[in-house]
Amino acid sequence: MLGNFTYCNPTKLYFGKNAVEGLNEELPKYGKNVLLVYGGGSIKKNGIYDKVSEILKKHGKTVHEDAGVMPNPTTDKLKEGIARARAAKADLILAVGGGSVIDYAKAVSVSVNCKEDPWEKYYLRMEDPDCAVLPVGAVLTMVGTGSEMNGGSVITNRAQKMKIGKVFGPEVFPKFATLDPEYTFTLPRYQMIAGFYDILCHIHEQYFSGTDDNTSDYVMEGLMRSLIHSADIAVKDPLDYEARSNIMWTATWALNTFVAMGKDTDWEVHMIGQAVGAHTDATHGMTLAAVTPAYFKHILPYGKEKFARYAVNVWGVNAGGKTQLQVAEEGIAALEKWMRGIGLVMDLKTLGVTEEMIPSVAYSTLIMTGGYKVLNREDILSILKESL
């Protein structure tokens, strides 16, 4: 039975070739000062920076830049962004990049007028903003996080070796986002594949919870099949527009809050992966891939029915003459085979984790309660050791 919920998603999307032209409709709605947020400079090499700058100039905007957002945005970078936004008297934050850039822009947006330490308030105490929030717009250049249409914002505190995601309400969602699949074509292969798995993991985290007959589960099975099919094509031909556009759209729906409605949701794989990232600065999608098989095997006895359904409906496992456990195990084996086939990192050692680091990573892992089994520290230690 679906639980009660209220659903609202205020983000306006412009999707397809030349979607960036949607800025022409959106920019007049905001004041003159724009804080342009982006990462390491790839948008200057591929021409996206020039295109966005041209449109901003056309609308008479005064542009203040905040470049250098790293793949795992830090509290130190957040402090820098707050200072830049205040100095600019920004009316709009325009994030041009992938999930990390958009996550960071949201963190700045809720922090500019915050009178407390944002890390303490939002990421440790998990409080909501009680101050004015700067509007955020996005030009998406990498798919994976769904940050273009949700309130999620993940920040890393290197000193505390913690990487925490805060999910803000609709007031923090980007007001608009442009999604042009061609903007993802120049992404390095490693990042592309990591993004593919991040999408799948987002769906897993919501799918593997609850035992009811939930409409969202049927939607998620379709999303997973579409992603797997298109990812196989894109790995062979990264310039295949149909595959990349389908993946981009799937990524948005995987985490724009829609399929989570009425679900408990899990998110423990993300908690373990984020703890790994806080210690190694490894690529997010790869940290998730490295710990998923061990995690699934730990919780399988508590969710056999759902794992068996997943095996049949997503991976096409033939259930004839087999026990529910056998079917479920075949599904996990099919997942692992596919993961290896597209080139994902499947062990933590490759990502820089050593045996000596494991107790610290386990200590940094937040324990969630929505999955089929609530882990304890010993469980997390075992999963990390098995993932080495």
Task: 116-124: list long-range contacts, CB under 8 Å, 24+ apart.
Answer: 118/78, 118/82, 119/75, 119/78, 119/155, 119/157, 122/153, 122/166, 122/168, 123/155, 123/157, 123/164, 123/166, 124/164
Q: What's the pLDDT at 310?
A: 98
User: In terms of DSSP bridges, do strands 62-66 and 92-97 run parallel, antiparallel, or are they unpaired?
Assistant: unpaired
Buried b (16+ CB within 10 A) or exposed e, 103-112: bbbbbbbbbb
Domain positions in the chain are: 12-183, 189-387
Q: What's the pLDDT at 3?
A: 74
Same fold, 12-183 and 189-387: no
E strand or H helix that includes residue 65 = strand 62-66
- What is the assigned CATH class of domain 12-183? alpha beta
Q: What's the pLDDT at 4?
A: 86
Mean pLDDT in runs of 10 for the chain (388 residues)? 84 98 98 96 93 98 97 96 98 97 98 97 97 98 95 96 95 98 95 97 97 94 98 98 98 96 95 96 97 98 97 98 97 98 98 97 96 97 98
| Distance in angstroms (rounded) separating the CA atoms of residues 110 and 37 | 15
HSE of 326, CA atoms in CB hemisphere, 13 A: 6
In DSSP terms, which residues pair with 62 in a beta bridge?
33
How far is C-alpha 360 from the chain's CA centre?
A: 24
User: In terms of DSSP bridges, do strands 92-97 and 176-179 run parallel, antiparallel, or are they unpaired?
Assistant: unpaired
Q: What's the pLDDT at 1?
A: 60
Q: What's the pLDDT at 40?
A: 87
Q: Mention every residue, 6+ apart, whose C-beta is less than 8 A from residue 332.
A: 293, 296, 297, 300, 307, 311
pTM score: 0.95
Which CATH architecture fits 189-387? Answer: Up-down Bundle (1.20)
